[in-house]
Structure 1
Amino acid sequence: MDRDRTEHSPGLPAPAAGLAIVVMGASGSGKSTIAAALAAELGARYLDADDLHTPEAVEQMRRGVPLTDEDRWPWLERIGARVAQETAAGAHLVVACSALRRVYRDRLRSGSGADLRFVLLQVPREVLIERVRGRSGHFMPATLVDSQLATLEPLGADESGFAVDASRREIEVLGRIEQGLGL
């Protein structure tokens, strides 16, 4: 992606430090799909936080064993460091990351030092399970959807972000996100 477009996209203000948008939710909510499409529309960089999991964590989830907080802390630190690196260089970034709990979002905020905005993708349980079962090549089994939903904490009133019904068509979801971001 060309740097000028990344740093000065028409939909986002020219930054002194970049803006990071975290597209969050349970497995199967469409985080990767929506975040990648949003990044392309905004001329921002895209990061899939799943790519920063260790091989051990991926194998653990593949076996159907949920990650513990202790498993997640180093992963969240890697994400925060990557966001800090990108935004300090003036790049806008869209991150696909579960960010299920408030404490995880707080860790991302403190680790990145960036202006983070969260977009929670909400999808009914049955749709999540159907989506996870229908995809190939991903480590997350459908058996972990309930664990993720039990862990998920909605955005607090004091958090910079909003929720979107992600059971709609992609174009509608993107439109609602852009509207929520004031673009």
Structure 2
Amino acid sequence: MIAQYGEAKTEKIVRGWVANLATNVFPDDTKLLEAIAAGQCGVGIANTYYYGRIVEKDPKFNAKLFWANQKAEGVHVNVSGAGVTRYAKNEAGALKLIEWLSSPKAQNIYADKDMEFPVNPAVKPDQLVASWGPFKQNLINMSKAGELQSQAVKLMDRAGYK
């Protein structure tokens, strides 16, 4: 958000989130989703794979997904990444691991067992995950997010976001 809106506007947005909290922040996404389903709060930000795990066990779970910012920059998407450090002792082995992690076999494990969206376009998401429909994802430059991480943490502290 800092990269898109600047620090001042982002801090104003985060302060608005904090001021709008219906209750204390939950310790994890599952507790948040359970609170939404119980009517303790109306909306929250959670990782979709937690939602998928709950709905897989309880198809009548009383909460739904909403893809934010679909008319603007798109919804935030968590990214898992891998790399090989300059001083890696087994660079070839590290590259083989990264290649395997992005392979259809490994991506199917993420997609089918963990309710994750696969990064490999050859792999289809789990049927439940696919039922949530398409969404526009925010295409933030991940290196910029890394550069701004410490600034973002300080901003969240100032705004009272925990």
Same fold per superposition (TM over 0.5): no
TM-score (norm 2): 0.32
Greater fraction strand: 1
Relative contact order: is structure 1 or structure 2 higher (C-alpha 8 Å, sep ≥ 6)?
A: 1
- Normalised to the residue count of structure 1, the TM-score between the two structures is 0.29
